[in-house]
Amino acid sequence: MSAPGTLAFSGRLLRRQLVLALRRPVDIGNPLLFFAMVVVLFPLGLGPVPAALASFAPGILWIIALLANLLTADNLFRGDFEDGSLEQLLLSPQPLYISVLAYVLAQWLVTGLLLALVSPLFAVMLGLAGAAIPVLIASLLLGTAVLSLVGGIGAALTVGLNRGGMLIALLILPFYMPVLIFGSAAVQAVVSGMPAAPHLAILGAMLCLALALAPLAIGAALRISVDA
């Protein structure tokens, strides 16, 4: 009996993660609901003046997407760590780098992708210019992928700790900041009539870097966490 190819295995892993996510549809809905609720907080806190809200909309939407992503990051490996699936994964002859990517991809598909897809609704509610919405979606697609990869590092580092939730935020929020800067700037650029492509290109570059390096860090961190 020979071990399956890396692609076949990571495909199975991805499928398993998605099946697990889809069997708890509420967990998929929670970040979206969170997004919707926090959007409401801003008019309540800042006042309902449409012009003010519209001018802050790119930043508001991006910050909420970032926080929603942050809240889901903690769960990435926790279940599999607690029931022992993770140590089995570490013992399997499959390359950890690819397996980790499958984990992150599955998580991104049910958080970042969905957040990006529903964001136009909230953009309209905050009065963001219609022309900026495609760029908002594009920036969220690229940016949340980076956030998921970076968040995975924090999740892997804290998965063995009981008090992971707050700690993970402290660890990875600094690393989220560049994504926030360029993500919201991309949307802002369209609003003020400038091209957004450079910002999106930089987000793309960050994604490439994160794809190359984050799985290494996640893998190393998982081995440490399982060891501890």
| H or E stretch at 128 | none
Q: Which is nearer to other proteins, 4 or 29 (CB)?
A: 4
Q: How far apart are CA 146 and CA 149, in angstroms?
A: 5
Q: How far apart are CA 110 and CA 213, in angstroms?
A: 22
Q: Which is nearer to other proteins, 54 or 118 (CB)?
A: 54
SS3 for 80?
helix
Using CB under 8 A, pick the residue from 76, 136, 185, 207 that binds other proteins. 185
How many CB atoms lie under 10 A from the CB of residue 174? 9
Q: 177: closest CA among 136, 143, 209?
A: 143
Q: 227: closest CA among 165, 143, 176, 159?
A: 159
How many CB atoms lie under 10 A from the CB of residue 125? 16
Stretch near other proteins under the rule CB under 8 A, chosen from 65-73, 109-117, 129-137, 181-189: 181-189
For residue 47, is it left (φ>0), alpha (ψ between -120 and 50) or beta? Answer: left
* Residue 206 beta carbon to other proteins: minimum distance, rounded to whole angstroms: 7
Q: Which is nearer to other proteins, 97 or 175 (CB)?
A: 175
The 10 Å CB-count burial string (b at 16+, else e) for 47-68 is eeeeeebbbbbbbbbbbbbbbb
**Does residue 46 bind other proteins (CB under 8 A)?**
no
Binding residues among 188-207 for other proteins as defined by CB under 8 A: 206
Using CB under 8 A, pick the residue from 29, 83, 117, 197 that binds other proteins. 83
Interface with other proteins: number of residues (CB under 8 A): 55
Give the contact letters, 2-41, x = binds to other proteins (CB under 8 A), - = no.
Answer: xxx---xx--xx--x--xx--xx-----------------
* Residue 190 beta carbon to other proteins: minimum distance, rounded to whole angstroms: 14
**Does residue 167 bind other proteins (CB under 8 A)?**
yes
Q: Which residue shows structure tokens 């607690």? A: 82
Stretch near other proteins under the rule CB under 8 A, chosen from 42-50, 66-74, 119-127, 151-159: 151-159
CB 107 within 8 A of CB 154: no
Q: Which is nearer to other proteins, 200 or 221 (CB)?
A: 221
Binding residues for other proteins, rule: CB under 8 A, are 1-4, 8-9, 12-13, 16, 19-20, 23-24, 79, 82-85, 87-94, 153, 157-158, 160-161, 163, 167, 170-171, 173-175, 177-178, 181-182, 185, 206, 209, 213, 217, 220-221, 223-228
